[in-house]
Amino acid sequence: MGYSFQFSIVWDNLGLLFAGAWLTLKISLLAIAFGLIIGIIGAIFRTSKNKLLDAIALAYVEVIRNTPYLIQLFFIFFGIPNLGIKLTAEQAAILSLAVNFGAYSTEIVRAGVESIPKGQVEAGMALGFKPLAIFRHIILLPALANIYPALVGQVILAVLFTSVVSQIATEDLTFVGDFLNARSFRSFEIYFAISLIYLAIVWLIKAMAFIIERRYFEFAKYRR
Q: Does residue 2 fall inside a structural domain?
A: no
What integer best gives the mean pLDDT of the chain?
Answer: 87
- The reply to whether 66 falls in a domain is yes
**Does residue 80 form part of some domain?**
yes
Residue 3 domain-assigned (yes or no): no
Q: How many domains does the chain have?
A: 1
**Residue 192 maps to a domain:** yes
pLDDT number for residue 222: 47
Tell whether 38 is covered by a domain.
yes
Amino acid identity for residue 107 in this structure: E
Rounded CA separation 202/138 (Å)? 31
The residues, ordered by sequence, that sit 6+ positions from 163 with a Cβ below 8 Å of its Cβ are 172, 173, 174, 198
- Rounded CA separation 141/206 (Å): 20
For residues 49 and 155, give the distance between their C-alpha atoms in angstroms, rounded to a whole number: 29
Summarize the confidence of residues 101-120 as an average pLDDT: 85
Question: Would you say the C-alpha torsion 12, 15, 18, 20 has a positive or negative sign?
Answer: negative
Quick one: average pLDDT of 201-216?
87
Is the CB of residue 43 less than 8 Å from the CB of residue 144?
A: no
Domain with 107 in it: 8-223
Q: Considering the domain boundaries, does residue 150 fall inside one?
A: yes
pTM: 0.85
139 Cα distance to chain centroid: 22
pLDDT tens-digit map of 24-42: 999 999 999 999 999 989 9
Q: What is the pLDDT of residue 176?
A: 92
What is the pLDDT averaged over residues 178-198? 90
Structural domain includes residue 1: no
| pLDDT-derived band at 214, boundaries 50, 70, 90 | confident
* Across 122-131, average pLDDT: 74
CATH number of 170's domain: 1.10.3720.10
What pLDDT, in 10s, does the model give residues 42-67?
998 998 888 999 999 999 999 999 99
Task: Give the per-residue pLDDT at 57.
Answer: 93
Tell me the CA distances in angstroms from 106 to 29, 86, 98, one per residue in order: 17, 27, 12
